[in-house]
Amino acid sequence: MRFPQIETLIWDFNGTIVDDLDLAVRSVNAQLTERRLPTLTLDRYRDVFEFPVERYYRKIGFDLDHESMADVSADFFRTYAPGLATCPLHDGVRPVLEGHRASGLRQFVLSAMEEELLVRTVDRLGIAEFFDAIYGLDHLQADSKLSRGRDLLADFAIRPETALLIGDTDHDAQVAVGLGTSVVLVATGHQNAARLRRPGVLVLPSAAEILSLVAPTEGKSDGSDLP
pLDDT reading at 222 higher than 50: no
Residues 36 and 93 sit within 8 Å (Cβ to Cβ): no
Mean pLDDT of 143-153: 88
pLDDT of residue 170: 94
Predicted confidence band at 36 (pLDDT cuts at 50, 70, 90)? Answer: very high
The answer, yes or no, to whether residue 184 has pLDDT greater than 70, is yes
Q: Mind listing the pLDDT tens digit for each residue in 75-110?
A: 999 999 999 999 999 999 999 999 999 999 999 999
Q: How far apart are CA 217 and CA 44, in angstroms?
A: 41
Dist. CA 80–CA 75, nearest whole Å: 9
Q: How confident is the model at residue 57 (pLDDT cuts 50, 70, 90)?
A: very high
Amino acid 219: pLDDT: 43
Asked if residue 196 lies in contact with residue 40, where contact means CB atoms within 8 angstroms, the answer is no
d(CA 200, CA 184): 10
Let me know the angle formed at the C-alpha of 186 by 182 and 187, rounded to the nearest 5 degrees: 140
Instruction: Find out whether 186 and 33 touch, Cβ atoms under 8 Å.
Output: no
pLDDT of 165 strictly over 70: yes
The 8-class DSSP code of residue 69 comes to H
Count CB neighbours of 18 within 10 A. Answer: 25
* Stretch among 56-70, 82-96, 130-144, 186-200 having the lowest mean pLDDT: 130-144
Architecture of domain 8-19+88-212: 3-Layer(aba) Sandwich (3.40)
Write down the pTM of the prediction: 0.91
Residue 45 near residue 28, CB atoms below 8 Å: yes
Beta-ladder partners of 114: 137
204 three-state secondary structure: strand
Torsion of CA 58, 111, 147, 10, to 10 degrees: -140
The residue among 143, 145, 187 whose CA lies nearest residue 168 is 187
Domain boundaries, the chain: 8-19+88-212, 21-84
